[in-house]
Chains A and B, each alone.
Chain A
Amino acid sequence: AQSVTQPDIHITVSEGASLELRCNYSYGATPYLFWYVQSPGQGLQLLLKYFSGDTLVQGIKGFEAEFKRSQSSFNLRKPSVHWSDAAEYFCAVGAFNDMRFGAGTRLTVKP
């Protein structure tokens, strides 16, 4: 069965600094990978997704992620964080019928 690990429960960065959120997955076939963002008390919004092809994918709000098959990773990056990026971020792997999420990483942005 597929699974997702987000090693960092909470990350704090200064506004304007770069960001990288880690995600490792376990899946027996070609994975379909996603990053979602959740503001407090809200549903989840898709940031970006990877199905195949170029291993560096661009998403909304200036985010990007890189798929590395050899490391089973799909890390999310942003070159310069804005205060509005403070939220919880979830990595997910989509299998045939279901979709599994990591435990999430809470991002705090310092002024």
Chain B
Amino acid sequence: SQTIHQWPATLVQPVGSPLSLECTVEGTSNPNLYWYRQAAGRGLQLLFYSIGIDQISSEVPQNLSASRPQDRQFILSSKKLLLSDSGFYLCAWRRDRGSTEAFFGQGTRLTVV
């Protein structure tokens, strides 16, 4: 069966520090991978999605970047965090394009202080 791992679960970082959140999927190959951010009371905002290694699409220009160095690994990064980067970050994967549902990790609560 397929599983998705996301870590860390919680993170407190100072303003201006770097960020690296990692997501890995097991039990499938060539998944579509996604990073979402959920700010308080604002639903899920799609940040990045990837259909293959080194193929990243950015939805919102901002202080974050994503990379996919391996087929089942998706990394969310920032060189210098801002206070506005605080939120709940969710990684997700889909088996195929279009029709199938997304499966979510347990999320990372990021607080920038």
Which range contains the number of A residues in contact with the other chain?
20 to 34
In the bound complex, do residue A100 and residue B46 qualify as a contact, i.e. CB atoms below 8 Å apart? yes
In the bound complex, do residue A43 and residue B105 qualify as a contact, i.e. CB atoms below 8 Å apart? yes
**Quick check: which of A14-22, A68-76, A101-109 contacts chain B, the rest being far away?**
A101-109
| A44 interface neighbour in B57, B90, B94, Cβ under 8 Å | B90
Residues of chain B lying within 8 A (CB to CB) of residue A101:
36, 43-44, 46
Are A97 and B46 CB-contacts (below 8 A) given A41-B107, A42-B106, A49-B101?
no
- As a 0/1 sequence over residues 83 to 101 of chain A, the CB contacts with chain B under 8 angstroms (1 = contact) are 0000000101011111111
In the bound complex, do residue B57 and residue A97 qualify as a contact, i.e. CB atoms below 8 Å apart? yes
CA A51 – CA B97 in complex, angstroms?
13
Q: Does B74 contact A (CB under 8 A)?
A: no
Are A95 and B44 CB-contacts (below 8 A) given A44-B104, A101-B36?
no
Residues of chain A lying within 8 A (CB to CB) of residue B1:
none
Residues of chain A lying within 8 A (CB to CB) of residue B34:
98-99
Residues of chain A lying within 8 A (CB to CB) of residue B59:
98
- Nearest A-chain residue to B91, judged by Cβ: A43
| A99 interface neighbour in B51, B57, B102, B109, Cβ under 8 Å | B102
In the bound complex, do residue A43 and residue B36 qualify as a contact, i.e. CB atoms below 8 Å apart? no
Within 8 A of B (CB), among A35-67: 36, 41-46, 49, 51
CA A45 – CA B97 in complex, angstroms?
19
Residues of B within 8 A of A (CB): 6, 32, 34, 36, 41-44, 46, 49, 51, 57, 59, 88, 90, 92, 94, 97-107, 109
Residues of A within 8 A of B (CB): 6, 9, 32, 34, 36, 41-46, 49, 51, 90, 92, 94-104
With A94-B94, A94-B101 known, 4 other A-B pairs at CB within 8 A are A34-B101, A36-B104, A97-B51, A99-B34
